[in-house]
Amino acid sequence: NAGVTQTPKFRVLKTGQSMTLLCAQDMNHEYMYWYRQDPGMGLRLIHYSVGEGTTAKGEVPDGYNVSRLKKQNFLLGLESAAPSQTSVYFCASRNADGSNYGYTFGSGTRLTVV
């Protein structure tokens, strides 16, 4: 059981380039999230999805787009990368059943924009 898988694990982009980060989960979770983590800032929510075909903005959505065409996949896109988007990106998922269980995180993507 793989849990939550993120690809790629590392990437270096030039300013203005685009890329897509993929998150895949095999736990049949309804909710999926994209966070970024910067030193001293904690985890900040970029976008999230409460089900297939739905997405919503989080705390810091500017410069990112997402899609959830299949329940198990949640894609994060950067259309025109900027140095301010250098960060570690984590995907997470959880059940929608109101249980007191927390999230399952992917292992992260380290992105550097030069």
Partner 1 sequence: RKEVEQDPGPFNVPEGATVAFNCTYSNSASQSFFWYRQDCRKEPKLLMSVYSSGNEDGRFTAQLNRASQYISLLIRDSKLSDSATYLCVVRGSSASKIIFGSGTRLSIRP
CB of 11 to partner 1, least distance (A): 16
Closer of 58 and 77 to partner 1 (Cβ): 58
Rank residues 52 and 105 by Cβ distance to partner 1 and give the closer one. Answer: 105
From the list 70, 63, 23, 31, the residue with the least C-alpha distance to 49 is 31
Give the burial class of 88: count Cβ atoms within 10 A of its Cβ; 0-12 exposed, 13-18 middle, 19 or more buried: middle
Distance of closest approach, residue 88 Cβ to partner 1, in angstroms:
8
Site residues (CB under 8 A) for partner 1? 31, 33, 35, 40-45, 48, 50, 56, 58, 90, 96, 100-108
Q: In angstroms, what is the minimal distance from the CB of 59 to partner 1?
A: 9
